[in-house]
Amino acid sequence: MRFAPDLIRTFPCGKADTCRIFCDPEKESVRNLRRSFGFKKAPEGRNAIPAPLKLSHGRNFHHSCRFKEETKTMLHWKNLDTLTAFEKLKAKKGTVNLPEAMAGESGARRVLTYTVPMACGLAYNFAAKAVDDELLSVLKELAREAQLEEKYAALYNGEMINTGEKRLVLHQLTRGQLGNPVIVDGVDKYVFYAGEQKKAAEFARKVHAGEIANANGEKFTTVVQIGIGGSDLGPRAMYLALENWAKANGAFRLEARFISNVDPDDAANVLKSIDLGHSLFVLVSKSGTTLETLTNETFVKKALKDAGLDPSRHMVAVTSETSPLAKSDDYLAAFFMDDFIGGRYSSTSCVGGVVLSLAFGPEVFARFLSGAHAADLTAKESDLLKNPAMLDALIGVYERNVLGYPVTAVLPYSQALSRFPAHLQQLDMESNGKHVNRFGEPVAYPTGPVIFGEPGTNGQHSFYQLLHQGTDVIPLQFVGFRKNQAGMDADIQGSTSQQKLCANVAAQIMAFACGKQNEDPNKSFDGGRPSSIIVGEQLTPEALGALLAHFENKVMFQGFCWNVNSFDQEGVQLGKVLAKRVLAHETDGALKAYSELLNI
């Protein structure tokens, strides 16, 4: 080993000086290291000896110790199309005839065999996917070569995985410790997140007990969350998923409503349907500057004042410690998050924790977190067939990048999950809808799919026609439960409603897989439409947490395969910038014409 003076990195935060590595610059491992960490040539005349380096997230490492640590599990961030296992995977295209595989006793054996236990009693069944044992063996090779296990470990141990924004990715820490303590600027982040959740729990208990009440000393009966994107889609989906369960199990405390759209009709509709005097509002904005959220806050405050109420007695904030909302007297309390938790991954932070604890009680939210943590633990499994999130991800990569399927439909056969597909749209499409890799280089292969869906059986009477007989093959992700949440049902024509629901999902899986030939082409079904199903006994808080974390981890693993940064969202920024120009009347050309068309 000899000193390579050309390897140097200046950290963008400005807190660090330079970093030199003792290594052989001609070795491939060193070239990979240079690329992975963004090294560049040293400025002329700079020949400082190695010294302890302070990373942008506040940790100190001595370079030689750091290099030894990295050589144990050197991470190689490579594009999918450079991996040997991917070439093997492409050679497997079309080797499984799904209609034949799912027919008769062969299909029955697959249903029993191709299932992987998930956390909290759930199971991932992939019998109706176009895979076999040989293809699964190649997927295992791909998982190893892409270092999915090691990259996940790097993430939860506090490595800087969000390269676009130079941030850690710590949403798993909101539900439990998976690895080493993550210390940032002297703060243990697990302790910080747990502390904020404890604050939210104590606040919720005081609200439920009437210790925190309105100006007349009366209890609040409704909680309204004001937020957009990840501050709305995830928490709203989680609330709706548990509302019936909570009512059936004596855990329903406050009705929750949500205001997200800057369209004034959204806020007006909610405000007209609630008792303002008995409503508590949760304003969610990490930066404290989100245009839509602050606009809706002003809308709500005006309504409260017009009703003779003091807004500061009816509002709390979920924000960052550096936000202008953090120390404002306009709120009863403030609960904190940070930049290491992206909005679409924030349902298990105080973004979801405050509203869900108020709605159902902190004990229910804690059960939800325990389910998510259990799923995070299964995602650590080295064996692909014991790691449902990784397996789901890799089958998805095969379908996207080898079979060429551009869309995935999420089809929960549970009305409680009516908004879950909308949340997964943001989770998946905002995370992996990227055209460049982690280094800003264009990728030459498809990345994240389009996600859409609706609950069954409603969807069967809507878009299933295209799914069965359209010209595009669309992989399907079913979710189903053996028992309903409310405990109410009726026997009609020899079967209960729940049995009819489950019968439909079973029938759809087989219809999509096997199809049915008919002399009339208009009535002929080709089959070969792949699907998987996540099955559980009942949608409980634990099962919901496990379901959420499964998809978060699936998206993460796919991002690792595609070598994209799944944790930034630059694609949403341009529209915001142009909207500000429109509102400031700083437009010309077509943008000005559109502004005039809309009377702005």
Length of the chain: 600
Residues 389, 557: contact at Cβ < 8 Å? yes
Q: What is the DSSP letter of 9?
A: B
Q: Which of 307, 353, 314, 308 is nearest to 330 (CA)?
A: 314
Active site residue 208: no
Q: Which of 196, 292, 297, 430 is an active site residue?
A: 430
Q: In one letter, which amino acid is 203?
A: F
**Dihedral in degrees, nearest 10, Cα atoms 154, 157, 158, 161:** 20
> Rounded distance, CA 319 to CA 335, Å?
6
Active site residue 399: no
* Tokens 């936000």 found at: 323
> Rounded distance, CA 353 to CA 235, Å?
8
Q: Which of 260, 287, 255 is nearest to 274 (CA)?
A: 255
For every residue of 135-184, DSSP letters joined together read: HHHHHHHHHHHTTHHHHHHHHHTT---BTTTTB---GGGGT---SS--EE
Prior bond to 163 cis, omega within 30? no
> Rounded distance, CA 299 to CA 379, Å?
43
* Tokens 């690792």 found at: 560
Active site residue 461: yes
Neighbours of 595 (CB within 10 A): 16
Q: Which of 549, 238, 560 is nearest to 376 (CA)?
A: 549
> Rounded distance, CA 410 to CA 516, Å?
23
Residues 182, 190: contact at Cβ < 8 Å? yes
Residues 535, 481: contact at Cβ < 8 Å? yes
SS3 (DSSP) at 398: helix
Residues 13, 3: contact at Cβ < 8 Å? no
In sequence order, the 6+-apart residues with CB closer than 8 A to the CB of 539 are: 241, 242, 245, 414, 416, 417, 481, 485
Q: Which of 60, 51, 68 is nearest to 8 (CA)?
A: 51
Q: Which of 40, 576, 586, 596 is an active site residue?
A: 576
Strand (E) or helix (H) holding 396: helix 388-401
Q: Which of 461, 500, 516, 580 is an active site residue?
A: 461
Q: Residue 512: which region, alpha, beta or left (left: phi > 0; alpha: psi -120 to 50)?
A: alpha
> Rounded distance, CA 454 to CA 414, Å?
10
Q: From the DSSP assignment, how many helices (H) and strands (E) are in the chain?
A: 20, 17
Which positions are catalytic?
430, 461, 576
